Amino acid sequence: MSQKRENLLNGILHILQPEANKGLRVNVDTILLADFAKPAKREKILDIGCAHGAISLILAKRGFNIVGLDIQQHLIEMATENAKINELDDKTKFITGDIKDYKKLWEAQSFDRIVVNPPYYETENSQKSPFEEKAKATQETNCTLEDVIMASKYLLKNKGHLNIIISASRLVELFILLDKYNIAAKVMRSVHPKPNTSASVVLVEGMRAAKKGITVFPPLFICGSDGKETFELSSAYTLEGSEKLCL
């Protein structure tokens, strides 16, 4: 590939990714979701919509085995190359496929944990990006939020975990879908640009076939009142990640 390798996690990893504005690139949501997921040893993990593999590679670098799925073949090729670049191909496997075909791809209850950064925007309520690759990643052109939750219910083992990051504007919709598909929301953390601002996104951990009852963590601020990056955010960019907050 002729693309330039770019640093991830402050140079701990090096990846190829789409050009700016042409596809899904690593952003703060990527880092926060990878940090929010706290797998136990030997968990079998699925990254839905893995794109170029950033979240998968971060988790693999932290010692976990993970399978990545994406509908776009060229992104799977990029993710596979990224795994080789970082010598993580023994811990990762990337597959081209449509999550709506989940029953053809895997047997029921195949995974202990699923991580997913789904398309944030409903197609009818947003202007479609002129770049097809970016539209598929950010808008529900190929996959809806319900498609993701439905597949997660089938693919997760009982008491298996779902880690998801979602636009704060769609949080109620997410909770309704989790309840519909018997995935109990167990942990929630809102993410805010800075103190005294509304949440932009929300991190949620659900558990399949679990009792109801949710723990709401303190909000995470990207910047403090001084305009500087918070310690919690900078910690998420390290290999160790931020302080362990889990069930």
Is residue 183 assigned to a domain? yes
Q: How many residues does the chain have?
A: 247
Q: How far apart (Å, rounded) are the C-alpha atoms in residues 199 and 170? A: 12
Q: Judge whether residue 184 has pLDDT over 70.
A: yes
Q: What is the pLDDT of residues 11-52, one digit of tens each?
A: 999 999 998 878 889 999 999 999 999 999 999 999 999 999
Q: How far apart (Å, rounded) are the C-alpha atoms in residues 203 and 228? A: 22
Q: Judge whether residue 94 has pLDDT over 90.
A: yes
Is residue 228 assigned to a domain? yes
Is residue 243 assigned to a domain? no
Please tell me the predicted confidence (pLDDT) of residue 18: 93
CATH number at residue 155: 3.40.50.150
Is residue 159 assigned to a domain? yes
Please tell me the predicted confidence (pLDDT) of residue 120: 72
Is residue 241 assigned to a domain? no
Is residue 75 assigned to a domain? yes
Residue 198: DSSP 8-state: -
Is residue 178 assigned to a domain? yes
Q: How far apart (Å, rounded) are the C-alpha atoms in residues 137 and 117? A: 9
Domain, as residue range, for 225: 6-236
Is residue 245 assigned to a domain? no
**Count: domains in the chain:** 1
Six-digit token string for 20: 């700016």
Please tell me the predicted confidence (pLDDT) of residue 140: 54
The amino acid at 84:
K
Q: How confident is the model at residue 123 (pLDDT cuts 50, 70, 90)?
A: low
Q: How far apart (Å, rounded) are the C-alpha atoms in residues 193 and 183? A: 29
What is the model's pTM?
A: 0.90
